[in-house]
């Protein structure tokens, strides 16, 4: 089985870390392709960043479909471009916020999300609502860490995340934790051990869910909202994103 993990930002070190985390949990027969798009922001910390990350992400989905990929993971906690990606793909597509929230709801009675910057908390709540997970989400907390600080060896990122996790358990009444950034994937095991509660990282959670869906033959429904998008011209800089009409594609 081939799973493509798209880190929607263009920072290679983070993509490598994400790929490693994915491979550590993938089933023996699974090939993990971890990529960054050819275009877009170096990190995603705003709606603006998210919006600019989507075209490159979609390019990777389209390439994946041509290459016969069995499933996709969108490895940014804002799950950018998820609906558009699901339109393009016949294979299943799962976002890491989606995956982490789903799995957290299965092992605890409620979870707290610990994320990077406060300004992204609104998006986390929005996703929780869209996925039906708001009722399990006790709180979304930020440690005011810029995303790329997670990539810096000497930073005290781990300490600050651990502290915020402790506050979450003490103050939110939750009994599980969700890490709110793909860049935290490598801290997950360590935090779980320190805290004694389930700590869910979205990258590894999403790998499991995509493998699960692919094993069961569950692919994105092409009957309604998520059918292949109508073919039509794209203009200007984005001309390369022009889709042929569906009949051409079928051919």
59-78 residues in contact with a copy of itself (CB under 8 A) are none
Q: Which is nearer to a copy of itself, 132 or 163 (CB)?
A: 132
How far is 93 from 141, CA to CA, in rounded Å?
Answer: 26
Q: Which of 14, 35, 54, 165 binds a copy of itself (CB under 8 A)?
A: 54
By CB under 8 A, residue 50 contacts a copy of itself: yes
Cα–Cα distance, 86 to 222 (Å, whole number): 9
Q: Which is nearer to a copy of itself, 153 or 217 (CB)?
A: 217
240 three-state secondary structure = helix
Q: How far apart are CA 251 and CA 98, in angstroms?
A: 34
C-alpha span between 122 and 180 (Å, rounded): 12
Contact call for residue 14 and a copy of itself (CB under 8 A): no
**CB-count exposure of residue 193 (10 Å: 0-12, 13-18, 19+):** exposed
Which residues inside 222-241 make contact with a copy of itself, applying CB under 8 A? 222-227, 229-230, 232-241
87 touching a copy of itself, by CB under 8 A:
yes
CA dihedral 138, 74, 55, 134 (to 10 degrees): -20
Check if the beta carbon of residue 18 is closer than 8 Å to that of residue 5: yes
* Dihedrals phi, psi of 137, to nearest 5 degrees: -90, 105
Contact positions with a copy of itself (CB under 8 A) in 89-108: 92, 94, 98, 102-103, 105-108
Binding residue (CB under 8 A) for a copy of itself from 7, 18, 49, 180: 49
Exactly one of 88, 96, 162, 184 binds a copy of itself (CB under 8 A); that residue is 88
- For a copy of itself, which residue of 132, 159, 171, 244 counts as binding (CB under 8 A)? 132
Within residues 143-162, the interface with a copy of itself by CB under 8 A covers 146
Say whether residue 115 binds a copy of itself (CB under 8 A): no
What are the backbone angles phi and psi of residue 243, rounded to the nearest 5°? -100, 140
Q: In the stretch 155-194, what mask flags binding to a copy of itself with x, by CB under 8 A? A: --------------x---x-xx------------x--x--
């Amino acid at each position: 089985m081939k799973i493509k993990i798209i880190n929607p930002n263009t920072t290679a070190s983070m993509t490598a870390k994400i790929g490693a985390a994915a491979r550590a949990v993938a089933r023996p027969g699974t090939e993990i392709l971890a990529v960054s798009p050819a275009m877009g922001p170096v990190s995603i910390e705003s709606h603006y960043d998210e919006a600019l990350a989507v075209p490159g992400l979609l390019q990777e989905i389209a390439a994946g479909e041509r290459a016969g990929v069995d499933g996709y993971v969108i490895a940014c906690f804002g799950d950018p471009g998820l609906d558009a990606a699901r339109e393009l793909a016949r294979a299943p597509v799962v976002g890491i916020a989606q995956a982490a929230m789903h799995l957290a709801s299965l092992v605890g009675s409620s979870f707290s999300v610990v994320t990077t910057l406060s300004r992204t908390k609104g998006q986390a709540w929005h996703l929780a609502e869209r996925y039906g997970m708001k009722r399990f989400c006790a709180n979304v907390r930020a440690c005011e860490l810029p995303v790329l600080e997670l990539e810096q060896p000497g930073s005290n990122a781990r300490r600050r995340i651990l502290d915020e996790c402790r506050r979450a358990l003490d103050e939110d009444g939750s009994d599980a934790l969700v890490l709110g950034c793909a860049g935290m994937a490598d801290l997950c095991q360590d935090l779980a051990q320190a805290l004694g509660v389930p700590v869910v990282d979205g990258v590894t959670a999403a790998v499991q869910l995509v493998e699960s869906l692919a094993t069961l033959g569950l692919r994105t429904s092409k009957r309604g909202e998520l059918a292949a998008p109508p073919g039509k011209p794209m203009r200007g800089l984005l001309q390369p994103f022009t889709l042929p009409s569906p009949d051409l594609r079928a051919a």
